[in-house]
Amino acid sequence: MRAAIYSTYGPPEVMDIKDVEQPSIKEQDRVLIRVHSASVNTLDYLYRKGYLPTRLDNGLTKPKNPILGIDVAGTIEAVGENVRKFKVGDRVFGSCFGSHSEYVSPRENFLSHMPKNITFEEASAIPCAAQTALQALRDVAQVKEGQKVLIYGASGGVGHFAVQLASYFGAEVTAVCSTSNLNWVKELGAQNVIDYTKEDFTDNGNKYDIILDAVGKRTFFSCLHSLTEEGLYITEHLFFPKYHPFQLMVGSLIGRKKAKIHLTKPNDRDLDFLRGLVEQEKLRPIIEKCYPLEQIVEAHHHIESGRTKGKIVLRVI
């Protein structure tokens, strides 16, 4: 099968399309998926560049797992003996490693049936980013109706889902993004928008119950005075140097304000929930550009620019 391979850490140009062995489903709770589409995430370029925390997981000198990708949408071609939820021919979407290839073999509890009203490309844009936003708001922050929520990086992959989900849960949403994205984040459900190129939200005197930094550009200390007395700051970016757990631990001792790092835990329950929202047209993925697998280098340059509107997706077939 064809796959996007990187055999050394470095810039996007270390990626190449090669023929590799197709995965099997020796473990009986796995399925074999023919990949139609897979998104490109920040985690992909962090692994490809070889940031130290990723090297501890994937090899200090060279990658142990040379195929990137953590989101997938495709068709099931085979199922293990213990699989009960899916059958051959089902269209599915979900989380798995190595999805920048023609086939993957994830466990069934990381998958859900694909929403009936969207394409493979749109489905592949959902799993990691939408689950990240959902778990941060619903599980970590326990967002409640009427609370004031600020999403920093509201036009990005995680951010644009967070805007929609916070609005769905009944929060008053303030979206922080660049000038060109103000109008469409309003359309996603933000009641208030702030252009970060013209205004620093920490200077306007407003207070928020929840601040979700979806792009790793702010610190807890910089947001401290913009939180209510029992406000919560959440960051998704453990890998960026200024977000050491020590800073969050010390910061969370200041009064009753708290700071937390959230790392996504993929699961089929949340995917089923998100599928329901998509089919009810209460959640929609925004795709800025769809690249063929052969343009994996261009896709990585795009995601690494940090200026993605919504999601970047790879079309495999």
**For residue range 241-297, what is the model confidence (pLDDT) as tens digits?**
444 455 555 555 556 788 888 888 999 999 999 999 999 999 999 999 999 999 999
Q: CATH topology for 129-261?
A: Rossmann fold (3.40.50)
Domain residue ranges of the chain, discontinuous segments joined by +: 2-126+285-315, 129-261
Q: Do domains 2-126+285-315 and 129-261 have the same CATH topology?
A: no
* H or E element in which residue 5 lies: strand 2-6
SS3 115: coil
Q: Do 125 and 71 contact (CB within 8 A), yes or no? A: yes
117: left (phi over 0), alpha (psi -120 to 50) or beta: alpha
Contacts of 67 (CB under 8 A, 6+ apart): 3, 4, 5, 20, 97, 98, 100, 101
The whole-number average pLDDT for the span 39-58 is 91
Amino acid symbol at 53:
P
Distance CA 235, CA 233 (A): 7
- Distance (Å, rounded) from C-alpha 104 to C-alpha 166? 32
Of 131, 151, 143, 136, nearest to 168 (Cα)? 143
CB atoms closer than 10 angstroms to residue 117: 11
17 - beta bridge partners? 4
* Confidence check: pLDDT of 52 > 90: no
* Nearest CA among 95, 163, 157, 165 for reference residue 127: 95
Pick from 105, 212, 67, 198: which is nearest to 149 by CA?
212
Nearest residue to 93 via CA among 107, 73, 68: 73
CATH topology classification for 2-126+285-315: Quinone Oxidoreductase; Chain A, domain 1 (3.90.180)
Q: How confident is residue 26, by pLDDT bands cut at 50, 70 and 90? A: confident
User: Burial letters for 157-185: b for 16+ Cβ neighbours within 10 Å, e otherwise?
Assistant: bbbbbbbbbbbbbebbbbbbbeeebbebb
Choose among 176, 173, 134, 181: nearest CA to 152.
176
* Interval 169-224: pLDDT, tens: 999 999 999 999 999 999 999 999 999 999 999 999 999 999 999 988 888 888 98
List the structure tokens of 241. Answer: 């140097």
pLDDT at residue 307 greater than cutoff 90? no
Q: Does the pTM of the predicted model rise above 0.85?
A: yes
